[in-house]
Chains A and B, each alone.
Chain A
Amino acid sequence: MSDIVEKTLTALPGLFLQTQTGGEAAAAKASLSSRLGSLVRGITALTSKHEEEKLIQQELSSLKATVSAPTTTLKTMKECMVRLIYCEMLGYDASFGYIHAIKLAQQGNLLEKRVGYLAVSLFLHENHELLLLLVNTVVKDLQSTNLVEVCMALTVVSQIFPREMIPAVLPLIEEKLQHSKEIIRRKAVLALYKFHVIAPNQVQHIHIKFRKALCDRDVGVMAASLHIYLRMIKKNSSGYKDLTGSFVTILKQVVGGKLPVDFSYHSVPAPWLQIQLLRILGLLGKDDQRTSELMYDVLDESLRRAELNHNVTYAILFECVHTVYSIYPKSELLEKAAKCIGKFVLSPKINLKYLGLKALTYVIQQDPSLALQHQMTIIECLDHPDPIMKRETLELLYRITNAQNITVIVQKMLEYLHQSKEEYIIVNLVGKIAELAEKFAPDNAWFIQTMNAVFSVGGDVMHPDIPNNFLRLLAEGFDDETEDQQLRLYAVKSYLTLLDVENVFYPQRFLQVMSWVLGEYSCLVDKETPDAVITKLYKLLMNNSISSETKVWLIAAVTKLTPQAHSSNIVERLIQEFTISLDTCMRQHAFELKYLHENMECMKRVLPVNKSCEDMVVDASLSFLDGFVAEGLNQGAAPYKPHHQRQEEKLSQEKVLNFEPYGLSFSASGFTGRQSPAGISLGSDVSGNSAETGLKETNSLKLEGIKKLWGKEGYLPKKESAIGDEAEAQPIPQESVIMENVDQAITKKDQPQAHMQSKEEKEKQLLASSLFVGLGSESTVNLLGKADTVSHKFRRKSKVKEIIKSGETTSTHNMTCSSFSSLSNAAYEEDYYLDTSQDRGDKGLKKFSLNSELLDSELFTALPMVKKPSNCSMSAPSLFADNNLEIFYPFPSTPAPAAKEISVASSLSEEPTEHMHSDLMEITEQPECCLPVMEAESMKNFQHSVQMEEPFTEGTVSGFVNYEMIDSHSAQLEFSVTVSLLDFIRPLKISTEDFGKLWLSFANDVKQNIKMSESQAALPSALKTLQQKLRLHIVDIIGNEGLLACQLLPSVPCLLHFRVHADVLALWFRSSCSTLPDYVLYQCQKVMEGS
C-alpha cells in the first residue's frame, strides 16, 4: 500500500506547492464514504487473483440485481455505474449494465447524465448496436438550453456515434457553429471533425463553415478547426493553397506571442497550435516553390525563437525541421535545420537523441553528408543499451545502405534480430535484410548465408514474399548463366550441410525452400548422388515435428529426384509408407509418385532436369478431351453449363421469395461470365462486331497476356540494362574510399581529444569507415542521383515484379474493356468525344497514337473518344486543344448528359483551333486505346466507358493523346475530365410494385430532412427539380408523398421516398450499396439548395 499513497508531487518538483494533506484527506474521505471505496479497498486487501475474481463476481451479481430492480433510484444507479466501470476496467464483463448506462444518460439529472454518458463512451464502441438507443437522447440534449447538457452531448458525439445516424444530429451541430459561447463552438467544430473522419462525404457541404471557424475570434475554435484542415490538406493539398497566407499569418502571430497568456504552456505560446500549423505548412509547401516561398520567413523565425531549453520547444523545433525538409528547399533554412538536427543528435537526453536519429532517418536521403557528420554518434547508438535506440539506428543505416557497406550493416541487423523476440520487429527487420541482400549482395556465398539467417530467424512469421522471391531469383537467374549455376550450386551445398547437422530444427518455410532447391538443383553437385539426397529428404519426411504442408514440398522434391536416382529402394519404401497415410493430401502425392515410378519413361519426360523456368505449353481449351465429351454427349449426358448460367437458370426458376433485386443479380452474373476471359474486346466494339466474336478474340489475347507474364520474351527488354549495371558495379575502389573515410574520422576526432585514441576508439572508427563508405560528399550524387545504378547484383528480380505488375494492370484494364462491351449495347454508357484533327501545312502521313491513362484509382474505367469531321466540330465547345489537335465534348444535340458536360467543358478555358485540312492518319496501336486507320478528311469517333466502381462525389479522368506528325515531330496532349456522381446516375424505370419489393430488400438507408424555399415547397416543383437535375425516375405520387428511383451505372439501384410537410422535405433513401444513399443525398441537398 505504501507506494500507492506515494505522492506524485515528488515527480513534479516545484510545480505545485499546495499542501499535501488536502488531497490525502480528500482521498481518504472519498474512499470511506463511497461504495466504490469499499470495493477498491476490499480488492487491495486480497492476496490472490482467485480471491479477487470471487469478490468481483459477487459484486457484479449484486450490481446486476440492483440495476435491474425497478425501485432503484437514479442516484443509486449512478453510483452503480461507477462500480461497473471499475469492474470492466479490471477485465470483468459487465455487459448487463450497458443498457442501464444509456437509460441513465437519458433520464438522469445533469450529474447522473454525465456519469451515464461517460459509462456509455467507455462501455460501447462506435459499431455497437445499443448505441442507436442513444441517438434520441443526444438530439434532445443538443437542443437543450443548458450549456452543460449541450457540452456533454457534443463530447459523446465526438467519441462514439453511429455513422449512419449522423444525418440526425448534423443540422443541430452545424447550428452550434454560430453559438455565442466559444466552448460550444469549439466542441461543435471538433464533433464535425470527427464526422469528417468517419464519414467525410456527409460533411462535404459545410466546408464553407469550416472556413468561418478558421476565422473565429476565439483562438480555441480556430485551433480546433485546424484539425479538420490538416486532415483535408493531407488528402488534397492543392485545394487549399489559397489558405497558405492565412496559416502563415496565424503562425506569425502565435510565434510573436500575440495570443492570450492562457494558451501558453510553460511560457511557450500555444505549442500544440504551432505544431499543427507547421504540419499544415509542410503539406502545403511540398513540391511547390511558390507556396513554399510564402513560409520561409515564418519558419526561419520559428527556428530562431525556439531557444528555450525545454522539451516543448524541442517538440516545435522537431516539427519545424520536418517542415523545412518537406517543403521546396531553401539552402539557408536547410542549413539551420541541419544544425538543429545536430542539437538533437548530440543531446545527452535520450529522448532528444532518439528524435535526432529519427530526423536523420528521413533527412538522410536528401542529405547523406549529415550522416557522415554524426557518424560517431550513430556508432554509439548502435551499441546503446536501450533497444529502441538501436532499432532506430538500424532504420537509419538501412536508408544509407549501398554495395560497399552492406555486409557490415546487415551483420548489425542480424545481431539485433537474434536478440529480439517481438514478432513485429522480426517481420519488419527480416524483410529489410532480404531486400538489401537482393539489392546489394557482394557475392554468392554471402547472399546464401544471409538468406539462411533470414529464413532461420524469420521462420514462419516472415512475409511469404521473401521465400517466394528468393526461389524465383534462383530459378530465373540473372544474366550470366555460369554465375547462376554457381549460386544454385552454393545454395545446394549449403543446405546439404545444414541438413547434416543433428538435432537442429529449422522453420517450416526454410525447409520448404530447401526441399525445392534440392529437388531442382541437387543434380548440379557432382559428389552427391540423387540417392543420398533422397535419403536425407526421406529422413525429414519421417520426422514428426514437420508440418504436412512441408511434407508435401518434400515429397515433391523426392518425386523430382526419383528419375535421376540409381536405386529405388528408398522411394519404394516411401511409397509404401505414405500410400497408407491418413493425410489425404500426402496419400495423393504418394500415389502420384507411385504411378509415375512405375513408368520411368513418362516420369523422365514429365520431370525434366533443371527446367523449372521453361515454358509449359498448356492446352487451355482442353481440346484433347473433345472425344471424351462427344462420347458422353452421344450417350445422352447433359451438356456442360458454366456456373453463371446455372445460377441464372436457378434464379429464374425460383418463383418465391427472391430477396435479390432483379436488375442487380442478372447483371452481376452476366458480368462474371464476360469478365472471366479477361481480354480486350474494345476492337470488337469499334468495328461493330457482336459480343460473341469479342469473346473469341479475347481468348487469343488472353494467351498472349500469359506469355508476356511468364514467357522469356517478356523479360528480354530489361536485359541490356541489367548487363550494364553488372559492368558498372564491378570497379569499385573500395579500399581507397575506406582509407579516405578513416582519415576523415581521425581528423575529426583529433580536434577535441587527440590523446584519447584508445583501442576501442579505433575500433569504432573502423566500424564507422566501413559503415559510411560511399557517403562522402563526392559520392553524394551517386547516392542521390544514380542510387539504383549502384551495383545491384540481383537486379532482375525487381524487374520481374514490375513486369508482373504491369501485366496485372493490363489485364484488369482488359477486363474493364470487356465489361464495357457488354454494356455498350445498352443505352447508358458515358460518352466522351475526342475530336482529333491536325492543322496548318502538315502534309502526308501522320502517325497517331493514343494512350489513355487513368489516373484516378477510384475510377474503374476506360476512355471514350469520338472523332468527327473537323469542319462540323467548330460549333462544339472544345475541351482541350493544342495546335494540332482538339478534343471536345459531344454535340448539344446528344441527349441529357450533354447539358452537364458542356458546362464542365466551358469551365476549362479553351482556345478555338483553326482547322485547315486533315490528312491521312496512321494509327499505332496501343493496348488500352487506339485509333483505327482514318480516311482522309475524316474523323473518327472513339468511345470508352467510364464506370464507377464505388460511389464518389467527384473524380477526374485524365490521360493523354500521343500523336506523331508526318515530319516525325511528335506531340502529346494531356487532358482531364471531371466527372461527378450525377454523370453516372440514370433513371430507373420500375413499377410501384417493383419499387415496394426492392424497398424491402435493401438494408442500407439514410434519412434526412431538407428545408426548402417557398417557391419549391409544392410537391410538383420539388419533384420536377429532382427529376430534371438528378435524373430520378418518378415511380408514383401518392398524396404528399413521392416515390423515385434511379440507378448508378451499370445497375446499382437507389430508391427514394419523400414526403413534404410545410417547407420541409423528408427524404428517405435506400439502396443495395451502403455508401450510395449518402452520395445521392448530398447531391439532392445540393440541388435543392441551389435552385
Chain B
Amino acid sequence: MNWLYDSVEPRVMDEDMLKLAVGEQGPRDEAGQLARQEGIVFKDVLSLRLDFQNILRIDSLWQFENLRKLQLDNNIIEKIEGLERLVHLVWLDLSFNNIEAIEGLDTLVNLEDLSLFNNRISKIDSLDALVKLQVLSLGNNEISHMMNIIYLRRFKDLRTLSLSGNPIAEEEDYKMFICAYLPDLVYLDFRRIDDHMKELAEIKHQYGIDELKQRENLSQAQLDDERAQREELEEHKAAFVERLNGSFLFDSMYAEDVEGNKLAHLPGVSELLQAYKDKFVIICLNIFEYGLKQQEMRKVELDTFNECVQEAIQENREQGKRRIAKFEEAHLLSLNAIRDESEVTNLEMKVAEHSKDITELFDMLMTLEMQLVEQLEETINTFERNIMDLVALFIENVQSLMAQCRDLENHHHEKLLEISINTLEKILKGELDENLPYDVRAVSTLFVDKDTIVNAVGTSHDLHLLKIDNREDELVTRTNSWCSHLVDAIHKDEIMRNRRRVKEIHQYVDHVQNELDNLECSEIID
C-alpha cells in the first residue's frame, strides 16, 4: 500500500467520482435504462463501493443518508471522517488504508460489521457508540497491548474478531486470553473457537475474570442506582415537589446563612432549631406527598381525556372509512357504466349523477369532520377547565402549606431574637462571661449592641423567608407553565389533526373527481 501512496497521485472524492460509482453499481438492464433516464438520487442509494480509488480523504458522502453498506477499502485514507451523516450504516469496510486511530464513528449506532484490517491502529477505543457491533476485523495493525481486549467486553453482540498480524497475536497467551475474556466470541481470526479451548481458557484465567466481573458488576450496580435515582427525581420533578421529601429546603436555608449558623451556638438555640427543623420537615413532607397525589390525579385526568379523545377520533375514522368504502364500490360501478355507455345523453346524465355523488361524499365527510371538531372542542374545553381547577387547587394548597412554613420561621425568629437579646443583656451585664462556651465567644462580635444582634437575626430571617418564597415561586411558575403548555399542545394537536383530515378529504375527492374527468375527456376525444 505504501508503494501506491508513493507512485499514484491521491484522488479527491468529488461528485463526479461518486456519480460514476453510483452509475456503475446501479441497476442493470431495463431497470438500469430507466434509472439512467431518471437519474439516481444519492439519497436512495443503499450500497456503495469505492475501493482502489486512491482516496486520501473521505468527503462528499453527506448526501447518502440511507446508505447501508460502504466499502472504502484499498485506499490511502489516513483519518476516519465525514461519515457522521451515514447513521443507517450497517457495514463499513475501511481495510487496507493508512488509518492510525479509531475515531469519527460516534454516530454510526447501527453498525454491525466493521473492518479496519491492515491499518496502523495501535489502540482499540472510541467504539462506544457501536452497540450492535457483531463483526470486528482489526488484523494487521499495531495493537500491542493485551488490555485492549478488555475494552471489547462491552459489545454484547460481538461474535467475530480478527486480530492476527498484530504484535499481541505473537504473545504466548494470546488465544487463551481472548477466549477467556470474551466468552461470547464464536470466531477468532477466521476460525471457530472450540468448546474445549473455551473451557481451558476459562480455567486458566478464572481468577482474573472473576475479579473483572466483580468490578464490572459493581460499576453496573452503581450505574443502575444512579439511574434509578435520576428517574425518581424526574418523577418528583414532574410532580413539582422534588427535594421536598426531606430536610433539603431547610438545609438550603441555612447553607448560606452565616449569622444563622453563628447564632445556633447560643445556649438553647440548638434545641429550638431542632424542634423547628422537625416541624419544618414534616410540612415539607406533607407538601411532597400532596404533590405526588395531585400528580397522580392529574395523570389520571389526562389519561382519561386522551382515551376519550382517541375513542371519539377512532369512531369518527371508522365512520369515514365505511363511507369511503361504500362510495368506492359505487364509484367503481358507475365508472364502468360510464365507460360502457355509448349514448351521449345517457352518458352526460350518468356523469352528472356521479358528480353529484362525489359532492355528496365530500359533504358527508366534511360534516363528519365538523361534527368531530365540535365534539372535541367541547371535550377539550371541559378538560382544560378541569385541569386548570386541579392546578389551581394544588397551588392554593401548597401555598397554604408554605404559609405554615413561614409562620414557623416567624415563630422561630421571634424566639431566636428573644434568646439573642437575653444573651446580649447578660453579656453586657458581664454575668455569663465565664459560663459562656467557647464557640459563643467566637460569635461575640455580634453581641456588641442591640442593633447588631437584631440586624444579624433579621438578616438570617430574611434569608430564610427568601428561600421559602423562591421555592414556592418556582413551584407555582412551573406548575402553571406545565398547565398552559399542556393545554396549548392539545389545542395545537387538534388543529393539526383537523387540517390534516380536511386536506386528506380534499385530496381524495379531487382524485375521484379527476378520475371521472379523465374518463369524460377520453370519451369526448374518442
- Is the A/B pair a real complex? no
Residues of B in contact with A (beta carbons under 8 Å apart)? none
Residues of A in contact with B (beta carbons under 8 Å apart)? none
